[in-house]
Structure 1
């Protein structure tokens, strides 16, 4: 039943998702039944060798083309079911449709003699069992182009089958060593280990090159060098810091002579959380009541800060999320300790606190009388000019009697004897470095004692009725 299904089905049999290669026609299920009986089934092995698609070299250096037989060829060779009839390396091979074969500069041909001018510089590094690598030393500018491996293999058995392949490699022979390529992650982050790979599509044991990293200083560990498959690579593993952002990381290619021949650089883009956060007073060092005050939260951050959190005396200010904190008419109650926390998508930082000291003139200025309710002639009268608050402190008090300036002093207390000339209306003005404020008036009425011990306001004297 299974053979019948296979025989009548003409659907394409998908061996893989890769496109069909030249030299092996589309295989249908019906054809597959018959091809499975052919010796070796060689059309499944296209191409027959594994080589790089392209290589880079330069004049004076050497060219090493790594080449390995694919397992579909290698295993039958080992079991002697396949035989390599011909192996030829060409420079710039061209197909001749009349001869139905390739022509060009022959660099190596198995079991055949080659021009001495070529053989002196060409080494076939492989064999007819596993390896088909080729090396060409002391390269010349004329040896730029396409290198091709012509391989002819036959199968043994009752029905011998012959298969021919031409595998081509593009080789760019430059006048000087090319700049190496640097591959880095799409994003660096501080304190997270990362790798940078410097590579060049070149490797030749007889002309080894060196790749050296420059730019990160003594903090950089020794890189790991790796060669093979036609490439030379140097892998640098390091842990970036925020100071590395914007640093030029350079990879230098040096020839066997030890001198740098070419280099390439990348600028490190290191993402890091906010650093060096601080609060600055934008509008000046002195803050006075009623003025506009702006606090700015600054820091270093990459990427830029996306959110700011403000605090006063350790308490969160929920309505404030911008970089600047504005006070249009600042009030003394808004004095305090302020700090901020800038944040980006990497992390958050906290600034030291800054003190906002709102200065204002003296407030709630008033006079208090430090005496008994009645002032008798001869008593000591003490008036105190008290201030509710003042920032900075009061530096001068000016006393007025009956609206005339009487005295300027640094003391808030005025003391005088209760005599006739001291009766009157008193007020004081308290002044600091910002401005001044005046109290309301208070009356001082000295009461005089008359004959018989009576006390009458407005009169004084001993045993007489004299006005005070």
Structure 2
């Protein structure tokens, strides 16, 4: 009896690579060929970068290769960092730049789901975008400290920083940061840094440092005097306001006391804004007599209204304000008999 046997492998993988043989078995016997089996080699696509490490400005070639026969001039789809970037048999970068660095893979057009392994393209370059920053920013007060920091993009990273002051030949310092303590007016000027690595060097743009002098003692004293004057003005204003309010309150109390006075005996009262004085002393000066006034006081409920009552009032000197006049409030109790 004669028959055929077929083995079909789908979704082929590299681990399917092996030597395959056929064995024939019946109920009575088993037959196995003595000649070699069929060898199956499974391989994937592979990206080759020539050269593997390239300096910016040079050229580089990326090829997608396989040991399998794919027909004449197959088209490859190229991926950079997982995104489609080109479709061609080979990828040429001339000249290469730092932006071309990344991870590359390829696939055969029509079989985009079968990517090759990623290969990294490394591009080396000298320092770029070198700049200087300052802290604190703005005008620097004499006697304080300031820190200058240099930054630069480079591959390999910058391995040497040097600081210079414009119009000064010798370098001021080295290192990524330059700290100036107890700064003085002579430190003002333009500063820049130089960044270096194995591929080159680059200077930053100059940064101007402005140093302001310390405030003089005269200015400090003037500021202190102004503050003291302002405080005194505020205190005096508050004092006058409270004094005026207290005077108004005393006047209101006097008016209220006069309204509630009842029947009482005649009372004589001599009121002076300063001290009690005699009638003879009041007449010594003609100027003082101009400010002497008399008032007739009548009590509505008095039984002896036929006798008028007088009160001598001496006002204070003209230079004293109205608010300084002293008032006396007198409350009368109702006696059993009128007295003088």
Q: What TM-score do the two structures reach when normalised by structure 1?
A: 0.37
Q: Which has the higher helix share?
A: 2
Higher relative contact order (Cα pairs below 8 Å, separated by 6+ residues): 2
Q: Which has the higher strand share?
A: 1
Q: What TM-score do the two structures reach when normalised by structure 2?
A: 0.50
Larger Rg: 2
